[in-house]
Structure formats: structure tokens, C-alpha cells
Amino acid sequence: MSQKLEEKMAENELHVELRKGVRKVCSRFPDLYWRELEVERAYPGEFVEALTQGGYLAALIPEEYGGSGFGITEASIILEEINRSGGNAGACHAQMYTMGTLLRHGSEEQKQKYLPRIADGSLRLQAFGVTEPNTGTDTTQLKTTAVRKGDKYVVNGQKVFISRVEHSDMMILLVRTTPLDQVKKRTEGLSVLLVDLREAVGNGLTIRPIRTMMNHATTELFIEDLEVPVENLIGEEGKGFRYILDGMNAERILIAAECIGDGRWFIERATNYANQRVVFQRPIGKNQGVQFPIARSYINIEAADLMRFRAAELFDMGQPCGAEANMAKLLAADASWEAANVTLQTHGGFGFAEEYDVERKFRETRLYQVAPISTNLILSYVAEHVLKLPRSY
């Protein structure tokens, strides 16, 4: 047997065991658990803690810092299985990829100080402060500033649609340290700060929850004269935009995996219901008008999954994967949204009833047409960077 084949078999065994392990954890949190959280618009703290204790949220942290040392492929399998079980990995997925900015660009002292505690769950790094009310995806135009005064940065600005801040201990914050009119390129002059939320809240940072149709941990941040120690600067001052971009491919791949998980959940629910629901003395699944949309959704999910694994493979090999990561996210988001619509249509009126959980998952998977990057911007990226068409924005 060749070494390559042996490695592939070992990899497959690991993936099988990972799936089993995540499913076992998720089995403790059935549909009713998520349904009750929806009623209270509450955060799934117990679920996140169970994943943490199982070591799953430390998947991408190297073993030397207390993590599992897995690649993005394994991390994506974990998140896929969470969503496939009927849960929502959005409650904790940033714990996986947000720390990548610290891992790849932080000092050894910072990594030794924070990563082991992130790995064992004693420190939560789930908040990612980038988006602003008046700039949206045009990140280089952000208005939040950080001015160095002695051994501290004084930060002022506003962020919006920042998830899990109230359930995190630390936050990665992107700020402008050099005014836009003083840099040669608009991507210059941005920096990344690691903010200790336990000290910041009430001392320059105000959190205001935003009620949304899903992801009930969304907030708006108001920052006024917040002091952040200079030692909390990640990497070099002024290079933060590149650091943030460096983690985007991982984010795209992991979100694609969540969409794959959603899509498989939808297809299973639609198929089961179509087999069980009897109208006009026959199961509705016997009708091609019901069969064909489910079958097409299944095909599209499987196709998107191939692109997910291709992007993950390139990422884990350290190869360029921007196009593949973006395409995986778009294909998976479109496929899961298609599956959501098909499942709702298959269930008819019952699809709108909370007890079937379709309407909850329907709302959750709709998010990924917009976040963390809209499908239109992915199309723009592919048009410009892959097809070499003129920049459209």
C-alpha cells in the first residue's frame, strides 16, 4: 500500500470519528433545546460549553498551544455536523477562525498568553469588530480611529452587526491608526487591536443589542475614548487590513461547510416528510412535482460540497485559494437557500409551524446570502480576479 493511500485512509478515519464525536455532543441538544432558545431569544451557552469541553472549538489551534492542531478541512467538518444536526454553529464559529489573526500575526508572547486559554475555554475570543454603520463592506473607509498616546491607544468610533460580544472575553478590533488622507494606498494605515472586553465595557465601550430575525447575539458598539494597551497591537501598525484579509478564506470555507450542513438537514427533513405525508391516498413524495425540487437541491448541495473540500485542501496545503473559498461559499449558500425553500414548500403550511423547526432553520440559512460577504460581492471578486474583467466598484 502506498504512503499516500495510507495517509488518505487515516484522514478518512479521522473524519469519520470527528463526525461521530460532534453528533454525539449535538444529540444532547435536540430540536426542543433550540426551539426554546428561540422563544427566549437566548444564547446557547450550554451548547457552546459542551463543544468547548469536547475540544472542538480548539480545532485550529496548534497542539503546542493546547489545541487539536487540525486543518481547515477538519474544522469545516465539525461546523457542518453542528448545522446538520439541526443546531446553529454561528453561535460559536468565530472562536475557530477569529483566533487565526492572533495565531498568524501575533507575537509569541501574545500567543503563549492567550491561545492556551482560548483552547481550554477559560477565555472566549468570539467577537470580531470590523463592520461599521456607514461603510459596510468598504472596509478601507472605516471611521473608527486609534490614536497612540504613550503606552496606550485611545479608540473612538462605532461598529455594527458585531456578534457574540456579550458572550466573549476578548475582541479582535480593526481600527484606523493613520488617517486615510495620509496613506499612499487606502488599504494602508489600518491596525488590529486585541480588546479585553472585561475591562472595556463601561470604560469607553458601550454595547447595544440589536433584535434580529436570527442570531440573537447581534450588537452595535459605541466606542468613546477607550484605552487599549499598545502591547495589545497584533502584528505591525498599519498592516491590519492584510491581517484581516488573511483570515477571510478560512471564514468563507467554514461558512460554506455550515451551509452544507444546513442543506443536508433540509433535504433529510423534506425527504422524510414527503414519504410520510399522505394526500389523495398517496404519499406526496410520489409526485414528480415534489420529487424533482428535492432531488435538484440534493445535487446542488453535493456539488457545492466538492468545492468546499477543494478550497479546504488548498488552504491546508498553504496554496492560494481565494477564488475557491469564495466560490465554495457562494455555491453552498445558494444551495442551502434553495434547499430551505424546497423544504418549506414541501411541508406546506406545517413548514411555518415552530414545532417542525423548518421556519427556524429557514431564517438561519438565509443569512448566508448576505454574510459574512454577500453573493454579489463574490461574483464581483470572481469577475475581476479570475476572469480579469474591469473592476465594478
pLDDT digits (tens, 9 = 90+) for 9-48: 566 899 999 999 999 999 999 999 999 999 999 999 999 9
Predicted confidence (pLDDT) at residue 5 exceeds the cutoff of 90:
no
Q: What is the pLDDT of residue 133?
A: 94
The Cα–Cα gap between 260 and 79 comes to 9
What amino acid positions are annotated as catalytic residues?
251
- Angle of CA points 279, 270, 375, to nearest 5°: 135
Q: Considering only CA atoms, give the Rg of the chain.
A: 22
- Which three cell numbers mark 131? 463592520
What per-residue confidence (pLDDT) applies to 7? 58
**Mean pLDDT, all residues of the chain:** 95
> Distance between CA atoms of 120 and 52, rounded to whole angstroms?
7
pLDDT > 90: what percent of the chain?
Answer: 91
**Cα angle, residue 295 at apex, residues 289 and 300 outer, rounded to 5°:** 130
Note whether 146 and 193 are within 8 A (CB): yes
**387 burial type by CB count under 10 A (0-12 exposed, 13-18 middle, 19+ buried):** exposed
User: Mean per-residue pLDDT for 269-282?
Assistant: 97
Place of cell 475614548: 225
Q: What structural domains and CATH numbers belong to the chain?
A: 3-120 (1.10.540.10), 125-239 (2.40.110.10), 247-386 (1.20.140.10)
Q: Tally Cβ neighbours within 10 Å of residue 140.
A: 15
How far apart (Å, rounded) are the C-alpha atoms in residues 190 and 360? 38
Query: How far is the C-alpha of 175 from the C-alpha of 182, rounded, in Å?
Result: 15
Alpha helices in the chain (DSSP H): 3-26, 31-40, 45-53, 72-84, 94-97, 99-105, 108-120, 197-200, 240-246, 248-276, 288-316, 322-347, 358-366, 375-381
